[in-house]
Amino acid sequence: MRKKVNEYLDIKTVLFKSQNVLLLRTSSIEQKSKTAFIICEGSSLSIDELNIPYKWDPYLKVPNKREYKRTLDGDIIMMYFPFECKGLEDAGRDLSYYINENMYSYDNIVIIGHSKAGVCIANMARMITRKAIFIFVSAPFEGTIINGTEKVKAMLSNKEYQIFRKYYTQHAVDLDVWPKSSFLRNVADFSGIKKHFCVNVISECKDIYTCKDIVFKYFAARMGYKHSDGLVLVSSQESLTQMYPLLKTVYIDASHAESLKRLLSANRDDYIID
C-alpha cells in the first residue's frame, strides 16, 4: 500500500532538494544497481528542513519500495515538484544538475515523466551530458485546457466545478502547460530528445477498467473531448511525435490517472492499442 502524505509522514530518503525539485528514493537502502529509474508522476510535494511535508497535492500518496520494483529492476527515485518551483524550465535545470553531477556511477538512467513532468523532462533532455532513456506518458506538449479554470468552469455545473477545484491546484508548473503559455511558446526546446532513446506514450481512455476511468471519461464528455485521456487531448500528446517522426510512439488505453500505472504494470500489454 502507498503511504498517504500528511504532516506525520516520515521521509528518510531525500537525495536532493532544491526550490524546484525534490528527489526521494523509495527504499532507504541503495540497491547498488547499474540502472536508475527516475519517475515523476507529475505531483507536487513540499517538505521543510526536517523533511516533514507541509504542503502536497490533494490525496497524494507516495509509493512504497515494492510498488515499482515489481516491474523495474534498478534503483527507484521519485521526483516531485515543490510548490515553490518556479516552473518546468527551472525544474529541468535542477534535475539535470543532479543527474550530471551525482549519477555517473550508473550505466543506465531511465527518466519517466507523466503529464506535465513528461513535458519537463523532454525540455530537460538537451541539458543532460550523457545518453539516457526518456519515457513521456500522457504529456501535454501543446498544453491542456484543464489549466484554463475559467473555461473549465464554463463547461461544468457549479457542483462539478467545486469537486474539480478540490483536486486541482494551479501553480507555476501548471501554468507552464496552459495552451500557448509563455513556456511553451518561448522557452520549451525539445530538440535534445534526438540524442537520447525516447518513447512517447500516448493515452486515450477508450474502455472502462476502473472507477477512475469512469470519472475521467465523464469529465472528457463534459469538456467535449472526443479523443483524450480525460484531461489531455491525444493531439497534444502526439505533437512531439509530429515534430520528431522517428520518435518511438506507443498508444495505450488508459485515463490520465491510470496511464503511468498501466504502462508499468505486469499486464501492461493488455492496454496497448497500437
Q: What is the helix, strand, coil percentage profile of the chain, to 5?
A: 35, 25, 40
Confidence (pTM) = 0.93
The total number of structural domains in the chain stands at 1
DSSP assignments along 1-14, one per residue: -PEEP-TT-----E
Q: What distances in angstroms separate CA 169 from CA 7, 11, 43, 68, 173, one per listed residue?
A: 19, 23, 10, 26, 10
* Mean pLDDT split into 10-residue runs, the chain, 274 residues: 88 94 82 88 95 92 88 93 97 98 94 98 97 97 76 79 73 91 96 97 94 90 89 96 95 95 78 65
For residue 186, how many other CB atoms are within 10 A of its CB?
8
Query: 234 is in which domain, residue-wise?
Result: 3-271
* CATH number for the domain harbouring residue 11: 3.40.50
